[in-house]
Amino acid sequence: MPKNHRVYCIGDIHGRLDLLLAVHQKIAVDAAHFNGIKILVYLGDYIDRGDQSRQVIDCLLENNFPDFQKVFLLGNHEQVLLQFLLSKDASIAHDWFRFGGLSTLASYGVNVRGIPTTKDLARLHTEFAEKLPVTHLDFYQRLALKYEIGDYFFVHAGIKPKIKLHLQREEDMLWIREEFINSTLFHDKVIVHGHTVSAEPEHLPNRIGLDTGAYSSGKLTCAVFENGDCKFL
Question: Does residue 125 have a pLDDT over 90?
Answer: yes
For each of the domains in the chain, give its residue range(s) and CATH number, in order of start: 5-77+140-232 (3.60.21.10), 78-139 (no CATH)
Residues 151 and 191 sit within 8 Å (Cβ to Cβ)? no
pLDDT band at 114 (very low <50, low <70, confident <90, very high): confident
Confidence of residue 223 (pLDDT cuts 50, 70, 90): very high
With b meaning 16 or more CB within 10 Å and e meaning fewer, what string describes 135-151? ebeebbeebeebbebee
Give the Cα separation of 49 and 45 in Å (integer): 10
Mean pLDDT value across residues 53-62 = 98
What's the predicted TM-score (pTM) here?
Answer: 0.96
User: With 90 as the cut, is the pLDDT of residue 87 above it?
Assistant: no
Q: Please provide the DSSP assignment of 200-216 as one string.
A: S-EE-SSEEE----HHH
Distance CA 11, CA 70 (A): 14
Q: Where are the beta strands (DSSP E) in 87-197?
A: 146-149, 152-155, 190-193
Place 25 in a pLDDT band, splitting at 50, 70 and 90.
very high
Instruction: Give tens-digit pLDDT for 194-212.
Output: 999 999 999 999 999 999 9
